[in-house]
């Protein structure tokens, strides 16, 4: 049944749909968009991840504070139960793994299976039942053993036997190399080269917290029933002092890549002894385009859903049609925001609207617009803002930044409309990236590996207003509209003297030209179809039939 599958795509989170709560942010969404594009392009791949029954968390804002609740979802109705298929011994106990199958269907009807691993079984000890409840729980080693080792074993028992490449999407799945090493060792001979040839690795963040490091004593304790999996030279592969999952993945893969050109430079400085290439991220456009733009593209750019390069022809669509579609998306967005907003402000349909939605974490610099509150107040009638985003439950600084943003918004509500929409997820993102006029992206440079929300905005003709980091550098080089924010420039002055005048002009042609650049030069390139073709050529080295 699965004999054609030649690539196994491993990711600790996969975000395919807002009903499937197994993602926390950009990494998971990228994994989901990748699998959807592979289904469109008929790539013989399967996905492997964990089934988190309580998701990441559901965010409520009470009195400016983030409240985190379990985000339960109905996996039974979305997936089929393939039964208990394998075991991994963790901390000396055999842990049974059940597998659920979900199918991603591409534009041509091609289907890709995604296998979700589940340890919430009566026969498992309580601590092990907990491993597939929440994303990134306290026992990361055990979660990652289930994903990497359990994943390879589950595939073997499903009869997926012709895999040519194992793709580690981030280091969380790097234990899969140890299972392959043992397998190749017993059947072909102990040889790093065989494992390397079978693996490719993508790194997704330069932030240290994104690179798991485990003490060797913890590793030995967890692997005490799987001792055969620890090769004699583990420390030379994964690090002398601690086991670094990124280093393990780099050492045992034949191709490694970062996710933008800038990120390749940053990653190469972090890991100078490895040759790291880059494949710039993309988005699955059909999943992020609002219904109004979809209708427009269907009318003027027939066949675009299987050939995203057709978006280059957006310049032939009349300006008035493009702007009309955007205004419809803006109206949809505003009614959602005004219903869910927690700051007391209200958005208006005729005012320039700036969107900022992403994880609240220090480097994203969400407070930049509040550096000069008097200036901000003076712009108050000409511009309005909408914020959204979660902060990791253990990121105290991120939570504090979110609280200050909401507090500012409440305090300024008489002068400037600033909204905050709780529980940022795929559905909220779809509304925001298509309905605002400008997408604001202010990472402190060298920290943003890529950033994909700006690509979603570009596909919808929303202008990016961005510091130069991650994908935005390449975006501006490709002349995809919008406005770069240089280090020495003041954000509010650029708003006042550049964006507000262009937006307020009676003649919308300059603005719509920028929108068309975003779609025609930006989205036609920053999409997962282009990205997947690069993975096929450089990483998997397979040709499509």
Ligand X SMILES: *Cc1c(COP(=O)(O)O)cnc(C)c1O
Asked if residue 417 lies in contact with residue 351, where contact means CB atoms within 8 angstroms, the answer is yes
How many positions of this chain bind ligand X (CB under 6 A)? Answer: 13
Q: How far is the CB of 270 from ligand X (least distance, A)?
A: 19
Return the closest-CA partner of residue 448 out of 430, 466, 432, 465.
466
Q: Which of residues 330-389 bind ligand X (CB under 6 A)?
A: 358
Q: Does 25 bind ligand X (CB under 6 A)?
A: yes
Which range, of 37-45, 199-207, 450-458, 527-535, touches ligand X by CB under 6 A? 450-458
Q: How far is the CB of 395 from ligand X (least distance, A)?
A: 14
Q: How far is the CB of 160 from ligand X (least distance, A)?
A: 30
Q: How far is the CB of 452 from ligand X (least distance, A)?
A: 5
Q: 3-class SS at 164? A: coil
Q: Does 16 bind ligand X (CB under 6 A)?
A: no
Q: Does 29 bind ligand X (CB under 6 A)?
A: yes
Tokens of 160: 């997926």
Q: Does 426 bind ligand X (CB under 6 A)?
A: yes
Question: In degrees, to the nearest 5, what angle opens at C-alpha 94 toward C-alphas 91 and 98?
Answer: 120
Distance between first and last Cα of the chain: 18
Distance CA 222, CA 230 (A): 11
DSSP 8-state symbol, 118: E
Which range, of 143-151, 406-414, 424-432, 478-486, touches ligand X by CB under 6 A? 424-432
Q: Does 424 bind ligand X (CB under 6 A)?
A: yes
C-alpha distances out from residue 105 to 37, 81, 109, 110, 521, Å: 10, 18, 6, 6, 28
| Number of helices followed by number of strands (H, E) in the chain | 23, 19
Distance CA 283, CA 527 (A): 4
DSSP 8-state symbol, 150: I
Q: Does 435 bind ligand X (CB under 6 A)?
A: no
Q: Where are the beta strands (DSSP E) in 360-487?
A: 383-388, 418-421, 438-441, 463-467, 483-485
Q: Does 425 bind ligand X (CB under 6 A)?
A: yes
Q: 3-class SS at 535? A: helix
Nearer to ligand X among residue 353 and residue 453 (C-beta)? 453
Q: Does 251 bind ligand X (CB under 6 A)?
A: no
Question: Of residues 351, 429, 440, 519, which one binds ligand X by CB under 6 A?
Answer: 429
Q: How far is the CB of 374 from ligand X (least distance, A)?
A: 29
Nearer to ligand X among residue 24 and residue 119 (C-beta)? 24
Nearer to ligand X among residue 253 and residue 452 (C-beta)? 452
Instruction: Give the count of beta carbons closer than 10 Å to the beta carbon of residue 25.
Output: 21
Question: Of residues 260, 287, 453, 528, which one binds ligand X by CB under 6 A?
Answer: 453
**Sign of the dihedral defined by the CA atoms of residues 487, 260, 472, 55, in that order:** negative
Which range, of 177-185, 403-411, 425-433, 479-487, touches ligand X by CB under 6 A? 425-433
Instruction: Give the count of beta carbons closer than 10 Å to the beta carbon of residue 92.
Output: 11
Q: How far is the CB of 289 from ligand X (least distance, A)?
A: 13
Q: Which of residues 483-542 bind ligand X (CB under 6 A)?
A: none
Q: How far is the CB of 49 from ligand X (least distance, A)?
A: 16
Q: List residues near ligand X by CB under 6 A.
A: 25-26, 29, 358, 424-426, 429, 451-454, 456
């Amino acid at each position: 049944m699965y004999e054609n599958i030649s690539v196994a795509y491993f990711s600790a989170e996969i975000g395919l749909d807002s009903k499937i709560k197994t993602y926390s942010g950009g990494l998971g969404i990228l994994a989901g968009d990748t699998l959807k594009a592979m289904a469109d392009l008929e790539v013989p791949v399967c996905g492997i991840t964990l089934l988190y029954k309580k998701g990441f968390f559901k965010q409520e804002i009470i009195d400016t504070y983030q409240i985190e609740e379990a985000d339960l979802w109905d996996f039974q109705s979305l997936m089929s139960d393939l039964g208990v298929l394998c075991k991994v011994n963790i901390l000396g106990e055999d842990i049974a793994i059940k597998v659920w199958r979900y199918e991603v269907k591409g534009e041509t009807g091609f289907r890709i299976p995604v296998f979700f691993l589940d340890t919430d079984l009566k026969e498992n000890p309580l601590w092990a039942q907990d491993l597939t409840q929440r994303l990134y729980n306290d026992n990361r080693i055990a979660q990652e053993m289930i994903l990497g080792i359990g994943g390879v074993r589950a595939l073997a028992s499903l009869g997926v036997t012709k895999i040519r490449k194992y793709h580690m999407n981030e280091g969380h799945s790097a234990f899969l190399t140890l299972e392959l090493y043992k397998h190749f060792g017993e059947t072909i001979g102990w040889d790093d080269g065989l494992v390397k040839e079978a693996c490719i690795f993508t790194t997704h963040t330069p932030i240290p917290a994104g690179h798991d490091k485990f003490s060797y004593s913890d590793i030995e304790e967890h692997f005490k029933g799987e001792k055969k999996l620890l090769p004699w030279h583990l420390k030379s592969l994964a690090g002398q002092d601690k086991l670094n999952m990124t280093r393990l993945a780099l050492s045992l893969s034949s191709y490694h890549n970062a996710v933008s050109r800038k990120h390749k430079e940053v990653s190469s400085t972090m890991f100078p002894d490895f040759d790291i290439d880059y494949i710039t991220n993309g988005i699955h456009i059909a999943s992020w385009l609002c219904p109004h733009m979809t209708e427009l593209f269907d009318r003027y750019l027939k066949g675009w859903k299987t050939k995203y390069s057709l978006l280059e022809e957006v310049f032939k669509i009349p300006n008035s049609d493009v702007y009309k579609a955007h205004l419809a998306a803006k109206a949809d967005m505003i009614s959602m925001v005004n219903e869910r907003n927690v700051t007391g402000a209200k958005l208006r349909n005729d005012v320039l609207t700036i969107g900022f939605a992403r994880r609240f974490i220090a480097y994203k610099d969400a407070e930049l617009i509040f550096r000069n509150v008097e200036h901000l107040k003076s712009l108050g009638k000409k511009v309005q803002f909408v914020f959204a985003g979660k902060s990791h439950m253990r990121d105290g600084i991120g939570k504090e930044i979110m609280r200050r943003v909401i507090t500012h918004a409440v305090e300024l509500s008489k002068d400037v409309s600033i909204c905050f929409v709780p529980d940022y997820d795929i559905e909220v993102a779809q509304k925001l990236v298509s309905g605002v006029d400008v997408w604001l992206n202010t990472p402190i440079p060298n920290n943003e590996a890529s950033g994909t929300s700006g690509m979603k905005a570009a596909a919808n003709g929303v202008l990016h207003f961005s510091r130069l980091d991650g994908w935005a550098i390449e975006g501006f080089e490709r002349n995809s509209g919008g406005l770069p924010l240089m280090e020495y420039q003041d954000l509010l002055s650029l708003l006042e003297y550049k964006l507000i005048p262009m937006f307020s002009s009676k003649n919308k042609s300059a603005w719509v030209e920028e929108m068309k650049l975003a779609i025609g030069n930006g989205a036609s390139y920053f999409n997962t179809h282009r990205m997947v073709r690069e993975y096929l050529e450089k990483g998997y080295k397979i040709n499509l039939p």
